[in-house]
Amino acid sequence: MIVAIIVVAVKLLILFAVLMLFVAYGTLAERKVSGHIQDRLGPYHCGPHGLLQPLADGLKLFFKEDIVAAESDKILYYLAPMIAIVPAILAIGVIPFGESITLFGRKIDLVVTDINVALLYLLAVSSFSVYAIVFGGWSSNSKYPLLGGLRSAAQFISYELILGLSIMGVIMVVGSFSLVDIVHYQKSMWMVVYQPLAFIIYMIAATAELNRLPFDLPEAESELVGGYHTEYSSMKFAMFFLGEYANMTVTSAVAVCLFLGGWYSPVSFLSWIPGPIWFVVKLVAVFFFLLWLRWTYPRFRYDQLMVFSWKYLLPLALVNILATGGVMILFGGI
Amino acid sequence: MKTVAEHTERRTYTLNMGPQHPSTHGVLRVILELEGETIVDARPVVGYLHRGTEKLAESKTYQQVSPLIDRLDYLACPAYNFAYCLAVEKLLGVEVPPRAKYIRVILAELARIASHLIWLGSHAMDIGAVTVFLYTFREREITYELLEMAAGVRMHQSYFVVGGVRWDLPEGFIPKLREFLDILPSKIQEYENLLTKNKIWRMRTEGLGVLSREDAIALGATGPMLRGSGVEWDIRKAYPYSGYGEFEFDIPTGRNGDVYDRYLVRMEEMRQSRRIILQALEKLPDGPIHAMEGKLYFPDPDWVRGEHRDIAALIHQFKLVVEGFHPPKGEVYQSIEAPKGELGFYIVCDGSPKPYRLRIRLPSLMNLQTLPLLSRGHKVADLVAIIGTLDIVLGDVDK
């Protein structure tokens, strides 16, 4: 019993550390990738090739003056940045990143906990992050954050729905909510082959969920100054910032598990490479895709975003579910 | 069925946008009356960058005004000096030698390209396409290097002086300019690849901020704002100055008068400017770069204090510095096609070396008048696209 607890604790610690590493270097990757896309170098002065930039950023934000907006709703104002990062940390618990390994005679699953409703749990905790934005926007007692908060409430509700529907197809094919089962199912063939439409819808909805361009309306800099975090400074701002990259990491990880074969190697002759490495490679690829998208596209307008969601994505997601169901009935499963 | 607004008391709120805001291109302040995110009314408040250029000019000699004029539209300085010098020359009745005319055209068109590049970058960035901004700045840098080669400074060149240009183009300028013109079409194509057919870009710009032909004329919109609405009006063609009549170029016009059309117009204008510069380079004559009559030009330093020093040259220099030149009594108006629209200088001269009154017709200020009309009924997000399409520079709005 005690050993089991220690094992879980160690796994949690490692995962948390890895997540934070991803978050820190995600911010650097963002700046480096954007730099190279835009014909410049990105950060270059802190350490070799700017590798220590995340540390410098963190230190800088830590020592910044912590300004509290006047007449703000103090409880919600302090709560919002905390909520921002929590969902991502909660979500890493159910993400499998490798096959079980045997260590000192014990079989250890490379997932903190394999619960049978992992996907439902994921959707539940990820919806939680909207509260950070809504609270932050509301409690700041300022009009730009308020507009950002309102936008995001509408955006999250619309795209959460589509995110859930896009995952439905995968659940129908596999017949399980467990991420471990879903990855096992993809041992020979990736889910993206069976569910290409669901993958595309998932990626679009996930980008919208993450407030990334072309869907970054809640924090649209050119319109709403900083959006919901306009009135936040110092570490409170840093929490929003970290939350964004933590959510990106988790969303990429979920995409890898659901559609890109999890920890399995794409070709059999490379299967000697350990699962976790494959997992990280795929994760980085999806992460890079998100960055790439951001630095290529202009931004949607608020109403266009809604139209896009309800008029195009929602019917498409439903069609995908119907088509999956039809094929399953006709051919008795995929 | 009644709408929600009819059920409830109609309620709007005021949002103060600017003067400190990332998308108002400086210190423009817009007071927005909003209903949700829909703009009921937008009232631009100008004057945060007012420097009293017109009044200041009254206390300076004609040459000393030139650096003030530079600072109106700090993104297209040569065009502004150009208009001012043309106005003073008209007052003096001085004919500028052909080489100086051509050099002026080359630099003014280069300034147009630079100005449009900045417009494109910031306009795209306001709509969210950040990468275009950095791409355009890459090319803009070359235009500034070229201007620096010619004038010695990157901005506020004051390279054009009354009667001609300050000095001749340096060696290496023309090859470098040709090099830039060679790569320019492919770079413009690169921006167009990112935007012109981009679905999101078109969704954000098509049908937005429609300015009808009649409204454009009634509100005094000029430049790409007017041409985007389908009016083929370009002062370079209508009242050719400085030898523009000798060049072949087209006036691009739009059809719908929306943000997208104005985008296309400005993109094409950059190509047309390139065409003009190429023709000017082809025809660039040799000869003096400054009008000899009227004693407008500072004498060679060699004549003043060098080997060939001459008391007449010294007196001439002294008079020019201390007193300035005396244009005849009269009034003139001279306008040019600046990158942002019609730029005009109206000078009243009482025969003294300082302008009695200098009135500037600024394109950005006039174009800004269309903002309330263009933005009414649109969303807050559209407002930044509309401010972008106006292509205003606050120095050019507030004088």
Residue A66 at interface with chain B, using a CB cutoff of 8 Å? no
**Cβ <8 Å between A299 and B130:** no
Q: How far is B12 from chain A (nearest CA, A)?
A: 13
Contacts of A217 in chain B (CB under 8 A): 381
* Short-list B94, B63, B82, B60, CA closest to B294: B94
Q: B252 CA to chain A: closest CA distance, Å?
A: 25
pLDDT of residue A221: 62
pLDDT value of residue B294: 64
Tokens of A282: 């795929």
> Which residues in chain B have their CB less than 8 angstroms from residue A301's CB?
203-204, 379, 381-382
The structural domain count of chain B equals 1
Question: What integer pLDDT is reported at residue B277 of this predicted model?
Answer: 92
Q: List, in order, residues 6 or more apart from A286 with CB less than 8 Å away.
A: A252, A255, A256, A260
**Least CB-CB distance to A38: which of B124, B134, B204?**
B134
What is the number of structural domains in chain A? Answer: 1
Q: List chain A pLDDT tens, one digit each, 334 residues.
A: 788 788 888 888 888 888 888 888 888 888 888 888 888 888 888 888 888 888 888 888 888 888 887 777 888 888 888 888 888 888 888 888 777 777 777 777 777 777 788 888 888 888 888 888 888 888 887 888 888 888 888 888 888 888 888 888 888 888 888 888 888 888 878 878 888 888 899 988 888 888 777 777 666 666 666 677 777 878 888 888 888 888 888 888 888 888 888 788 777 777 777 878 888 888 889 989 888 888 888 888 878 888 888 898 899 999 988 988 888 888 775 5
Q: Which residues of chain B have pLDDT under 50?
A: none
Any residues with CB less than 8 A from the CB of B72 and at least 6 apart, and which?
Answer: B53, B80, B360, B362, B395, B396, B399
Question: Using the beta-carbon criterion (under 8 Å), do B128 and A214 form an inter-chain contact?
Answer: yes
Check CB contact of B49 with chain A, cutoff 8 Å. no
B268 is a domain residue? yes
Q: Which two tokens stand for residue B16?
A: 């103060």
Domain limits for position A104: 2-331
- Taking only the tens place, the pLDDT of each residue in A153-174 is 888 888 888 888 888 888 888 8
Q: For residue A299, which of B34, B17, B198, B138 has the smallest C-alpha distance?
A: B198
Task: Please give the pLDDT value at position B346.
Answer: 93
- pLDDT tens, residue by residue, B161-190: 888 888 888 888 899 999 999 999 998 998
ipTM confidence score? 0.77
A170, A121 in Cβ contact below 8 A? no
CB-nearest to A222 from B15, B22, B135 is B22
Residues 6 or more apart in contact with residue A205 via CB below 8 angstroms: A159, A160, A162, A163, A166, A313
| Residue among B23, B134, B201 minimizing CB distance to A222 | B23
Token reading at B211 = 């300015």
Instruction: Dihedral sign for Cα B296, B301, B302, B308, please.
Output: positive
Give a yes or no: residue B188 inside a domain: yes
Is the backbone of residue B81 left (phi > 0), alpha (psi -120 to 50) or beta?
A: alpha
Enter the pTM of the model: 0.84
**B-chain residues near A295 (CB < 8 A):** 130-131
First to last CA, chain B: 51
**Which residues between 232 and 271 in chain A have a beta carbon less than 8 angstroms from any beta carbon of chain B?**
none
Q: Is B23 on the interface with A (CB under 8 A)?
A: yes
- CATH assignment at residue B329: 1.10.645.10
Instruction: Using a CB–CB cutoff of 8 Å, tell me whether B128 touches chain A.
Output: yes
| pLDDT score recorded for residue A220 | 62
Identity of the residue in B13, B201, B380 whose CB atom sits nearest the CB atom of A298: B201
Query: Is the CB of A176 inside 8 Å of chain B's CB atoms?
Result: no
Residue contact A222–B203, C-beta within 8 A: no
Range of the domain at B358: 59-398
